[in-house]
C-alpha cells in the first residue's frame, strides 16, 4: 500500500474518540553507567517496527555520514508529493531540531535516499540496531521510504536500550560529532521530579498479509534517557492498543512513562 495511505491511516488514530485500552508490552529501564536493569516488565525481547523512534539512530547515521552538519544545517524545504499528514509543521523549512520535534517523515526520507540501502544496513549492523533490514515491503522496492514504518526494519525494547546506553556513554562506533549532535537535538521534555528527560516517540499499525492495516491494534513507543545529578538511565516502553482510541499511542506512551519514571526508579531501590 502507498506510504501516504499508511501515514494517513496512522494519523487517523488521533481522530478516534473511544477510551484508550492499551496493553503495555514492555517497560525496561537500565542504569546507563553500569548496565544494571532497574525495571524490566513484559515481553522486552520481541521485535516490532521502531516507527519514528528510528529517528534517533538515523540522526547518528546522518551526522556520522556528513549529511547532517549541525542543528540547523541542512535546512530543507517541503516539496510537493512529500508526506504531509503531520499538518502545517511538516510544510515548513525543517532542520534537525524540527525534524525530531515534529517527527517529519520526509526529512528522514531525504537522509535515507541520500545514503542508500546498503549504507543504512551497514550502519545498522555496526550499531547493532535491530535486524538492520531496509528492504521495505516485499516486492515493493520502498525500503528507503518506509522500512522503519511497520515494514522490514524491526527492533526489540532491549535492543533499543542497548543502543541508547552506548549512545549516552559515547561508545557507538561513530564520530564524536555524531554522538554530540544527536544528544543535543533529541527533544528534551519538561523536568520531572528533578529528572531531565530526552526521548523520541513512535507509532505505527501492524500490517496484515495484504499490506492493509490492523487499525485496532497500533503500537506506541517512547525511548530515551533521563539524567538527575550524576545518574543517567536509559529506557524503552512499548504499548499496543486493542481498539481505535483518541490521541497517538506514542504520545500517550511518552506522557505515561514520564509521569511514572520517578516512582519506578524510587520503588526499584536500585
Cell readout for 46 is 520481541
Rounded to 10 deg, the angle between the 157-168 and 176-185 helix axes is: 110
CA angle 134/84/109 to nearest 5° reads 25
Calpha distance 202→149 (Å, rounded)? 9
Q: What is the DSSP string of 154-183?
A: -B-HHHHHHHHHHHHTT-SSS-HHHHHHHH
Q: Please, how many CA atoms are within 13 Å of residue 41, restricted to the half-sphere of its CB?
A: 10
Q: Strand locations in the chain, DSSP E? A: 22-31, 37-42, 188-192, 195-204, 219-228, 231-241
Cell readout for 168 is 549516552
Dihedral Cα 127, 72, 236, 86, nearest 10 deg: -120
Other CB atoms within a 10 A radius of the CB of residue 189 amount to: 16
Calpha distance 208→268 (Å, rounded)? 39
Calpha distance 239→15 (Å, rounded)? 19
Residue pair 192/207 in contact by the 8 Å Cβ criterion = no
Other CB atoms within a 10 A radius of the CB of residue 80 amount to: 5
Residue 52 annotated among the catalytic residues of the structure: yes
* Residue from 5, 52, 267, 268 carrying the catalytic annotation: 52
User: Annotated active-site positions, please?
Assistant: 52
Amino acid at each position: 500500500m502507498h506510504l501516504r495511505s499508511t501515514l494517513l491511516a496512522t494519523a487517523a488514530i488521533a481522530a478516534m474518540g473511544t477510551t484508550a485500552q492499551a496493553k503495555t508490552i514492555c517497560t525496561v529501564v537500565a542504569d546507563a553507567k553500569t548496565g544494571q536493569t532497574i525495571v524490566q516488565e513484559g515481553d522486552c525481547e520481541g521485535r516490532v517496527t521502531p516507527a519514528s523512534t528510528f529517528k534517533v539512530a538515523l540522526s547518528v547515521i546522518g551526522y556520522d555520514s556528513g549529511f547532517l552538519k549541525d542543528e540547523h544545517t541542512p535546512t530543507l524545504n517541503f516539496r510537493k508529493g512529500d508526506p504531509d499528514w503531520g499538518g502545517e509543521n511538516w510544510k515548513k523549512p525543517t532542520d534537525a531540531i524540527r525534524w525530531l520535534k515534529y517527527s517529519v517523515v520526509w526529512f528522514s526520507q531525504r537522509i535515507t535516499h541520500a545514503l542508500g540501502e546498503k549504507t543504512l544496513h551497514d550502519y545498522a549492523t555496526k550499531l547493532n540496531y535491530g535486524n538492520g533490514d531496509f528492504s521495505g515491503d516485499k516486492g515493493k522496492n520502498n525500503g528507503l521510504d518506509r522500512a522503519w514504518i511497520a515494514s522490514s526494519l524491526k527492533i526489540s525494547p532491549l535492543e533499543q536500550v542497548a543502543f541508547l546506553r552506548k549512545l549516552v556513554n559515547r561508545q557507538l562506533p561513530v564520530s564524536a560529532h555524531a554522538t554530540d549532535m544527536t544528544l543535543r537535538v533529541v527533544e528534551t521534555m519538561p523536568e520531572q521530579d528533578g529528572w531531565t528527560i530526552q526521548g523520541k516517540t513512535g507509532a505505527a499499525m501492524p500490517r496484515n498479509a495484504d499490506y492493509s492495516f490492523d487499525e485496532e491494534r497500533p503500537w506506541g513507543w517512547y525511548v530515551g534517557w533521563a539524567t538527575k545529578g550524576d545518574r543517567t538511565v536509559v529506557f524503552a516502553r512499548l504499548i499496543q492498543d486493542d481498539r481505535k482510541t483518541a490521541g497517538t499511542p506514542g504520545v500517550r506512551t511518552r506522557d505515561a512513562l514520564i509521569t511514572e519514571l520517578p516512582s519506578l526508579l524510587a520503588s526499584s531501590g536500585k
